[in-house]
Amino acid sequence: MTTVNMKDYVNGNVNENKAVQEVIGKISKAETKVSANVINTVVPILGNKERTLEQRAEDIGELKGILASSIASGLSKVILKIPVRLLAMDTAYQIPERTERSLGKLLKEWDYDSCDPLLGVPHFEDGYIAVVDGTGRVRASNVIDSDKYEKLDVTVLLKAPSDPNERQKFEAKKYEYQNSGTEPLKDYQKHGARLIREDRPTMLLEELKHQYDFDWVLKKGQREGGILGSYPYTRELCEKYGRSCMEYILDICKKSGFNRLSNGYSRCVFKALRDMWRYYASDRNKTEQFLSEYLHGKTPALIKARSKVAYEYLDADAAFSFYIEDAIVENLHLQQTRKLSDDEQKLEVIRKFA
């Protein structure tokens, strides 16, 4: 994309075609009639908030120069590198606190090449691009390296209403519904990419998948035998607790026959067995052997029903886990790690565990 050099543009050294001059002239004339409430709510994100009239005039000229060719070509939007000092936000519909909350995450995971371009609308009367999606990225880039990111890629919307009030409504809608047209990737959809990146939890999950012959499905609902109840939770177990915990869980499921049952690999089952692995670390061999035999001939649905009768005020996962714990404590004569709270609505740890 060819842009107009600002210095030549201001000095009149560029022979702009007549269409460019007419379009910019119409926009300038219409947008100088801006209501005070719109002007007062639009502020630069990082630029000088106390510009002189001369500086404002220079910014207006520079913005027109940057966009001149695109406007003359009749484009509805264009991706251009825009100086950070020309980027602004409208505080009437943007909440600065939201950006501050997300700034830490942006800084921690910063990768400019993976960032989408900002989305903005030109305000020719002020020499600003009002950013409707990407304010946090502007601030993060300044913290990372203000010299390197002196300019940022912006998708500039060139067909916004010329009336300031209508333009503000247009921007507010874009801000409100940002990313609504895209469906975020589910965790399982990232599996292949993570394998290529050699992500350790994902690589472990892939190994276990082949070792124990399980899989995952795309839809929610009841799972057939050999199907994970929750891909994200299983990967989380791989990440937090590693191979030892996962093999403990999967070995019990395999030996008890749960691996062939509907919902035998459910989150509820995995969470309960993870708890036994954690809370009775010094007795893992005993609890693995016992649970492999104890669960044989039973179904997840049966234990879930019995546990809810026994502990009606606990949520389903906690009741299932505590039911399993009671069984190993009673049969293996182990010291109880958890007990019901006085109101019977939660579990409390009553002794240290590894």
Max mean pLDDT range (24-33, 177-186, 269-278): 269-278
pLDDT digits (tens, 9 = 90+) for 174-199: 988 887 766 677 888 889 989 998 99
The three-state DSSP-derived secondary structure of the chain is CCCCCHHHHHHCCCCCCHHHHHHHHHHHHHHCCCCHHHHHHEEECCCCCCCCHHHHHHHHHHHHHHHHHHHHCCCCEEEEEEEHHHEEEECCCCCHHHHHHHHHHHHHCCCHHHCCCEEEEEECCCCEEEEEECHHHHHHHHHHHCCCCCEEEEEEECCCCCCHHHHHHHHHHHHHCCCCCCCCCCHHHHHHHHHHCCCHHHHHHHHHHHHHCCECCCCCCCCCCCECCCHHHHHHHHHHHHHHHHHHHHHHHHHHCHHHCCCCCCHHHHHHHHHHHHHCHHHHHHHHHHHHHHCCCCCHHHHHHHHHHHCCCCCHHHHHHHHHHHHHHHHHCCCCCEEECCCCCCEEECCCCC
The mean pLDDT value for 224-231 works out to 87
- Residue 62: the pLDDT is 96
pLDDT digits (tens, 9 = 90+) for 84-133: 999 999 988 887 665 566 788 788 888 988 889 999 999 999 999 999 99
Average predicted confidence (pLDDT) for the chain: 86
pLDDT at 304 over 90: yes
- Residue 220: the pLDDT is 64
The mean pLDDT value for 15-25 works out to 48
CB 157 within 8 A of CB 119: yes
- Residue 344: the pLDDT is 86
pLDDT at 255 over 60: yes
- Of the candidates 260, 273, 254, 265, which has an alpha carbon nearest to the alpha carbon of residue 211? 254
> Model's pTM, two decimal places?
0.62
Lowest mean pLDDT among 2-16, 67-81, 169-183: 2-16
CA triplet 294, 327, 320: central angle to 5 degrees? 90
pLDDT digits (tens, 9 = 90+) for 6-15: 334 333 434 4
Distance, CA of 342 to CA of 118 (rounded, Å): 53
* Structure tokens that stand for 183 in this block: 């469906």
